[in-house]
Structure 1
Amino acid sequence: MRKIIVICFMWLVVQPTYSIANEWPKIKSDSLLKLFKMMEPFEVLDKIYVGYIDVKDCYYNEEVKPYLLKWLDKEAYFEYLNKDYIKLAFINDRECSISKIKGWLNQHNQGHLIDTVMKTPELFKVYLDSVIDDVTKYKRKSFFQNGGRLPGQAIYFHALLKLPESYEILRRYWKEDGGKINSKYFDAMLAMHDPEAISKYNSYLDSAIKNVDLSPLYDARKKTYNVYVYGSYALELRLKLLRVTHKSWYSLVNYFYCPYNISLLYLPVYEDTCFRFSNNDFVLRIIDSAENMEYEPYEELEKWSMEVVENIKEFEKAAEPCIKQLMEEELYWKKNMPYYKNEENQ
């Protein structure tokens, strides 16, 4: 009965409000706070989809911030996972506990005590605690062997939230991970517009373009579409890559060959935050043409591709108002970043 009451209460407090600007539900910070006061932070994380959280509302709610920052605490995450494991493997499974205690006693040359321990509840508990301690030490060593880990949802959420505290924690993890582009923390650094991460990624793409290495370019194409996560950098990246004319694969329904820069221009209306709503006739003509690129011969697509490169300034003009607007919208979090003053002084 208590479980039903808790579930019903969760449904009430997490009832999302709907944003007119974004056609998905939003969980407000006050609703999150109620959940955090009922459950452990990682239990809350396991029960919701972070993409529905109103990150701007959370940014300004000082009371909910400590709970959200717990999602970046590797020690707390280990304790949460280990607690669940111990409960499942030992507390709720007496047969497993008996087997593990017998194994522990034999391993420590105390097999002669098995019958006594099994018959004495106090001793059973003492030795079970010893087994649990040993298991916890082993699991801790394994968990932190390569620097520990965090749930992907936690990293993604904080990449959206963009608190300066989140940034400093994730940047430390990224540097501890070697400051690599393939680090699980790297995309969060890009989303938070870390200058070093952006510089590394741009250089990485320059090398990929020079060496006609398409795999990194396919990944970059996804980032150019994701303004929600990467903000103004997504559009800056798209402009950079509009100069790339390499022959590449693309898929709408079927796979077909297409110049890379033309593939960047095919976007549904609800995803295009930039070019489709410009007043630039040239840009609109290319965008309209790109809608039918699947049915055009490659030679025709090549002509469009070269037109884009030759008229790149037109795309830059079309993108300028969108980038400017995004930069203004980003200012509320960016001005609090430790790197912001350095950028202002440059």
Structure 2
Amino acid sequence: MVARAPLAITIGDPAGIGPEVILGAWARLVAEGHAPAAFVVGGAQLLAGVAEALRIDCPIVPIAEPAEAHLASAAGLPVLAGLDAPLMPGQPSPEGARLALASLQWGAKFALSGVAGGLVTAPIAKAALAAIGWDYPGQTEFLADACARPYRDAVMMLAAPGLRTVPLTVHVALAEVPRLISVDLICHKARITAAALRRDFGIAAPRLAIAALNPHAGEGGQFGDEEARIIAPAIAALRAEGIAAFGPVPGDALFTPRARATYDAALAMYHDQALIPVKALAFDEGVNVTLGLPLVRTSPDHGTAFDIAGKGLADPGAMAAAITLAAEMAERRAAGGG
């Protein structure tokens, strides 16, 4: 299978580890013979400076348009010319934020128009973007807006070898979670997850494990009634629709090796319930995948790490995994006709 178009990789905040993990990931994928057709949206001079400073063997090949990426990749990492910023590792700046924003905006346009087969986003600094007028909680919400979809349709999945998790609530206080979970929320995100597992991961009959909220799944109501009042009815509704959902599974049992073999994705009630197991088991291989949008989008499951930027300490594994997964998803969509 061949993707219809090269992947677009956004540079993220150039003061963070984004540039060096992009270079390191590309060098690793080339060495392994697994590099897909792709290009970075801007930062050619900056990336060349990072490669030289950190002695990363990754030649930069400036290109004028995405279509050149297929041929240019034979000589190095294709990078769209025209967008750049000064090289200042660990020092976020307005110039860097403007490059990060322009890279994200153009990357989204390329992916939505079909010029790019998918989008891989490097980490951004939300505070730096807010300082130049950006008004989104994160890249996921920006992309939902760009796709003219409600935020609730952009579902976060954390994917790692042998484990996929979906948090039903994300960046909210833990005290708010019991109020926010509902039968509608569970069913909505479970449907999007099941559809994405079929379309983007090639799983014909997805199995979804639904986590409990309370210890011991509420222990028959002793520790809370959300399992009986909300989660169990949602599971029943999903099963009535033909989705192989089961639970509520107590959180302390959901991620054991034996349990992980029984499902294709686990839907967790809150942020840390979903992210802790992925980061504990596969920190350098975890990928943030956005489900429910008309474009393919992946991102490494880590932040800008300004404290180690430019020191050659960042592991490119998660970026390599994000690029690889985006290519696989794009190939499946191309083979499926959309």
More strand by share: 2
Higher helix share: 1
State TM-score, norm by structure 1: 0.30
Higher-Rg structure is 1
TM-score, reference length from structure 2: 0.30
Higher relative contact order (CA 8 A, sep 6+): 2
